[in-house]
Amino acid sequence: MVSRVIPVESFDLVIFGGTGDLARRKIIPGLFRRYVAGQIPEEARIVGAARAELDDQGFRALAAEAIGEFVGPAKREGDAVERFLAHLSYVAVDAKGEAGWSALKAKMRPGVTQAFYFSVAPALFGDLAERLHLHGIATPEARIVVEKPFGRDLASARALNATLAAHFTEHQIYRIDHYLGKETVQNLMAVRFANILFEPLWNARHVDHVQITVAETVGVGGRGAYYDKSGAMRDMVQNHMMQLLCLIAMEAPYRFDPDAVRDEKLKVIHALEPVRPEDIVRGQYRGTKDAPSYVQDAENQSSTTESYVALKVNVANWRWKGTPFYLRTGKKLRARASEIAVVFKEVPHSIFGEEEGWRENVLSIRLQPNEGMTLSVMIKEPGPGGMRLTEVPLDMSFAEALGADGADIPDAYERLIMDVIRGNQTLFMRGDEVEAAWAWTDPIIAGWEGRGDRPKPYDAGSSGPEDALMLLHRDGRRWREIRE
Ligand code: NAP
Q: Taking 90 as the threshold, does the pLDDT of residue 476 lie above it?
A: yes
Q: Range with the lowest mean pLDDT among 145-154, 220-229, 235-244, 309-318?
A: 220-229
- Residue 291 DSSP class: S
287 pocket-lining for ligand 1 (C-beta < 6 Å): no
* Count of positions (residues) in the chain: 484
Q: Taking 60 as the threshold, does the pLDDT of residue 429 lie above it?
A: yes
Q: What dihedral angle (degrees, nearest 10) is formed by the CA atoms of 155, 157, 159, 165?
A: -150
* pLDDT confidence tier of residue 279, bands split at 50, 70 and 90: very high
pLDDT of 376-427, one tens digit each? 998 888 888 778 888 898 887 766 666 655 556 778 999 999 999 999 999 9
What is the DSSP secondary-structure string of 443-471? Answer: HHHHHHHHHT--PEEE-TTBSS-HHHHHH
- pLDDT score at 402: 61
pLDDT of 124-168, one tens digit each? 999 999 999 999 999 999 999 999 999 999 999 999 999 999 999
* Active-site amino acid positions: 240
pLDDT of 76-104, one tens digit each? 888 999 999 999 999 999 999 999 999 99
Q: Which atom of ligand 1 is nearest to the CA of 94?
A: 19
23 C-alpha vs ligand 1 centroid, how far in Å? 8
Domain limits, the chain: 11-147, 180-409+432-473
Residue 98 identity (one-letter amino acid): E
Q: Taking 70 as the threshold, does the pLDDT of residue 40 lie above it?
A: yes
* pLDDT confidence tier of residue 371, bands split at 50, 70 and 90: confident
219 C-alpha vs ligand 1 centroid, how far in Å? 21
- Residue 429 DSSP class: B
The CATH fold assigned to 11-147 is Rossmann fold (3.40.50)
20 C-alpha vs ligand 1 centroid, how far in Å? 5
21 pocket-lining for ligand 1 (C-beta < 6 Å): yes
- pLDDT score at 274: 97
Q: Which atom of ligand 1 is nearest to the CA of 176?
A: 44
221 pocket-lining for ligand 1 (C-beta < 6 Å): no
| Among the listed residues 346, 306, 338, 311, the one whose alpha carbon sits nearest the alpha carbon of residue 325 | 311
Give the Cα separation of 107 and 11 in Å (integer).
Answer: 12
263 C-alpha vs ligand 1 centroid, how far in Å? 31
What is the DSSP secondary-structure string of 325-339? Answer: EEEEEESSBSS-EEE
% of the chain surpassing 70 pLDDT: 96
Which pTM value belongs to this model? Answer: 0.95
- pLDDT score at 183: 86
% of the chain surpassing 90 pLDDT: 81
- pLDDT score at 407: 56
Tell me the CATH architecture of domain 180-409+432-473: 2-Layer Sandwich (3.30)
Between the CA of residue 90 and those of 22, 115, 204, 457, what are the distances in Å? Answer: 17, 15, 54, 47
- pLDDT score at 184: 87
**Which letter, b or e, does each residue of 263-272 get, where b requires 16 or more Cβ atoms within 10 Å of its Cβ?**
bbbbbbbebb
Q: Taking 70 as the threshold, does the pLDDT of residue 217 lie above it?
A: yes
Mean pLDDT of 318-342: 97
Mean pLDDT of 307-322: 98
127 pocket-lining for ligand 1 (C-beta < 6 Å): no
- pLDDT score at 368: 83
- pLDDT score at 405: 54
Pocket test for ligand 1, best of 24, 26, 51 (most atoms within 8 A of CB): 51
Q: What is the mean pLDDT of the chain?
A: 93
173 C-alpha vs ligand 1 centroid, how far in Å? 19
Mean pLDDT of 191-218: 96
- Residue 304 DSSP class: -
- pLDDT score at 169: 98
| Among the listed residues 268, 222, 244, 213, the one whose alpha carbon sits nearest the alpha carbon of residue 482 | 213
Q: Taking 60 as the threshold, does the pLDDT of residue 170 lie above it?
A: yes
Q: Taking 80 as the threshold, does the pLDDT of residue 243 lie above it?
A: yes
98 pocket-lining for ligand 1 (C-beta < 6 Å): no
92 pocket-lining for ligand 1 (C-beta < 6 Å): no
Do 180-409+432-473 and 11-147 fall under one CATH topology? Answer: no
